[in-house]
């Protein structure tokens, strides 16, 4: 089986106790590459990779030093290119909501719902209802609360790992340097004639202050206010 290669990325970095991020990238075409991030949750030396991205040899060695790669968890239907690599290389469990169309493989080991018992404590899974394809968000109850998202909510403090072309056009295609509800995601996920306002209202009931999405950069504080502002910008009318 052939796998997607490892693209440029940083070393794992601890952002709260036993939660790490890897800031990486993914090409959209031969001249445009954008950011892509992975979160790693460690519990009793077991690692759960959230929004997995393949690492180079040095990064993989650093990953193994953190603990045993036990499972991968896909939060968004549009992510999954590196999931088969982890299944084959590490023999991981695959946790995911059913129904995603972009990456129908590998087979799901544990189906994610808001009632699924998570493999680590102090965490809550939020699953959007009424979407055309599944998307979920993980709240890690450490510090003042850390929100791990995929495409629904993104934060851009910088354009690290983006190619020059991507850096230039990102603000003009709906991805400025701020916290946003993903515009492409919102268009592709919202059924015709429907609104996701009530789902984001429900999400904002969660207590969190930090945010790491599958794209962009880490927002360590002020995330709840930032997400609320993004919500109001989209749904105020």
Check residue 201 and give its pLDDT.
97
Chain segment 189-227, per-residue pLDDT in tens: 999 999 999 999 999 999 999 999 999 999 999 999 999
Long-range (24+ apart) CB contacts under 8 A made by 15-19 are 15/146, 15/210, 15/212, 15/218, 15/220, 16/140, 16/142, 16/143, 16/146, 16/210, 17/142, 17/143, 18/42, 18/43, 18/142, 19/140, 19/142, 19/146
Chain segment 79-106, per-residue pLDDT in tens: 999 999 999 999 999 999 999 999 988 9
Other C-beta atoms within 10 Å of 89: how many? 12
Radius of gyration of the chain (CA): 17
Cis ω for the linkage preceding 220 (within 30 of 0) = no
Residue whose token pair is 């429907």: 194
Check residue 139 and give its pLDDT.
98
Q: Above pLDDT 70, what percent of the chain?
A: 99
* Per-chain mean pLDDT for the chain: 96
Position 237 pLDDT exceeds 70: no
Q: Which residues are registered as beta bridge partners of 179?
A: 155
Check residue 105 and give its pLDDT.
87
Q: Which domain holds residue 71?
A: 13-235
Residue at 160 is within a domain = yes
Q: Per the structure, how many domains does the chain have?
A: 1
What average pLDDT does this structure show over 109-114? 96
Chain segment 115-162, per-residue pLDDT in tens: 999 999 999 999 999 999 999 999 999 999 999 999 999 999 999 999
Residue at 63 is within a domain = yes
Check residue 2 and give its pLDDT.
87
Check residue 30 and give its pLDDT.
87
What pTM, to 2 d.p., does this model score? Answer: 0.96
Residue at 191 is within a domain = yes
Check residue 10 and give its pLDDT.
98
Q: Assign residue 95 the CATH number of its domain.
A: 3.60.15.10
Residue at 121 is within a domain = yes
Residue at 157 is within a domain = yes
Residue at 147 is within a domain = yes
Check residue 99 and give its pLDDT.
92
Residue at 188 is within a domain = yes
Residue at 161 is within a domain = yes
């Amino acid at each position: 089986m052939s796998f997607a290669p490892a693209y440029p990325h940083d070393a794992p970095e601890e952002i709260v106790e036993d939660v790490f991020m890897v800031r990486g990238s993914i090409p959209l075409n031969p001249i445009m590459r954008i950011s892509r991030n992975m979160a790693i949750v460690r519990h009793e030396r077991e690692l759960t990779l959230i929004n997995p991205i393949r690492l180079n040899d040095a990064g993989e060695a650093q990953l193994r030093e953190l603990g045993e790669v036990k499972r991968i968890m896909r939060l968004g239907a549009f992510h999954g290119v590196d999931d088969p690599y982890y299944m084959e290389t590490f023999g991981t469990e695959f946790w995911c909501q059913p129904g995603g169309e972009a990456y129908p493989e590998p087979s799901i080991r544990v189906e994610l719902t808001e009632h699924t018992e998570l493999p680590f404590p102090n965490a809550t899974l939020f699953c959007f209802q009424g979407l055309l394809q599944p998307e979920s968000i993980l709240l890690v109850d450490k510090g003042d609360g850390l929100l791990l998202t995929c495409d629904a909510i993104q934060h851009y403090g910088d354009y690290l790992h983006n190619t020059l072309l991507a850096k230039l056009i990102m603000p003009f295609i709906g991805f400025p340097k701020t916290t946003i509800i993903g515009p492409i995601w919102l268009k592709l996920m919202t059924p015709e004639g429907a609104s996701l306002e009530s789902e984001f209202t429900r999400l904002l009931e969660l207590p969190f202050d930090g945010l790491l999405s599958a794209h962009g950069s880490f927002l360590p504080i002020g995330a709840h206010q930032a997400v609320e502002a993004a919500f109001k910008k989209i749904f105020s009318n």
